[in-house]
Amino acid sequence: MKKIGHLLALLAVVLCLSASAAWARPTVVIDAGHGGHDRGGVPGDRYAEKIYALDVSRRLEGRLRSMGYRTVMTRRGDYFVPLNDRCSIANSQRNAIFVSVHFNSAPREGANGVETYYYSRRSGSLASAVHRQVVRAAGTEDRRVRSRGFYVLRNTRIPAILVECGFLTNRSEGRRIAGSAAHRQRLADAIALGIRSRY
C-alpha cells in the first residue's frame, strides 16, 4: 500500500508540473506584415509581399495551434492594420511573444537570404532560435540576426522579433516563395520550431 501511495504522489507531481508547463507556454501574437493598400516591398516588385506574409502567418498559426499554443493574429485578410494597432494588440496580451512575418526586397536582384531582427535585449534569444531554424529551412544565405528599432519591435512590451524570410526581388528565391506552397509551409514550420525551442 505504501508503494502505491508513493506512486500516486509521484503521478500527482508529474501532472502538476505538466499543467504548470502548459500554463506557462506563451500566447504567440502573429503579425503578417503589410496588407491592404500597403503591398510591401519596393516599387515594381513582381510579387506582393503582403500576400506571402499572410500566407506564412496563417500556416504558422495552424502549426502553433497543433503544438498547443494559443495564437492571436494582427490581421487575417488583405487589409491594412496601422503599426500602432499591431503593437496595441500585442501589448494587450499577457504572457505573450510577438512574431512579425515579412519578406525582403532590394534594388539589387542578387540580394538573397534570411535575416531576423529584435530590439529589446530579452528578445535576442528568441530571434536567434527562430533565425537558425528559418535559415536551415530556406536553404539560402544567412544574413544574421540584427538589432534594429523598427516601430513594431520598439513599441511592444513583450519579447518581439521580425523575420525576413527571403527576398522576393531575387529571381530564384522569389519564384520559390511565390510558387511553392510547400516552401512556405517549411518556413512556417521552422518559425514554430524556433519558438518551441525557446518556450
Report the pLDDT averaged over residues 12-20: 42
Q: What is the pLDDT of residue 24?
A: 80
Q: Rounded distance, CA 174 to CA 67, Å? A: 29
H or E segment and range at residue 113: none
Percentage, residues of the chain above pLDDT 70: 88
pLDDT for 3 equals: 56
Backbone angles phi, psi at 77, to 5 degrees: -145, -175
pLDDT the model gives residue 43? 84
Mean per-residue pLDDT, 83-97:
98
Residue 45 has a pLDDT of 86
pLDDT the model gives residue 107: 92
Give residue-wise pLDDT tens across range 17-51. 444 444 589 999 999 999 999 999 988 889 999 99
Angle at 108 between CA 107 and CA 110, to 5 degrees: 145
Mean pLDDT of 155-162: 98
Do the beta carbons of residue 114 and residue 141 sit within 8 Å?
Answer: yes
Q: Which CATH number fits domain 26-198: 3.40.630.40, 3.30.565.10, 3.30.460.80, 3.40.1390.30?
A: 3.40.630.40
**In the chain, domain spans:** 26-198
- CA–CA separation, 190 and 135 (whole Å): 9
Return the pLDDT at 39. 97
Backbone angles phi, psi at 62, to 5 degrees: -60, -45
Q: Can you read off the three cell numbers belonging to residue 72?
A: 492571436
For residues 73 and 61, the answer to whether their CB atoms sit within 8 Å is yes
- Residue 47: which of 166, 169, 165 has the closest Cα? 169
Q: For 97-108, what is the mean pLDDT?
A: 97
Helix (H) or strand (E) run with residue 94 in it:
none
| Nearest-angstrom CA–CA distance, 161 and 114 | 13
pLDDT of residue 44: 81
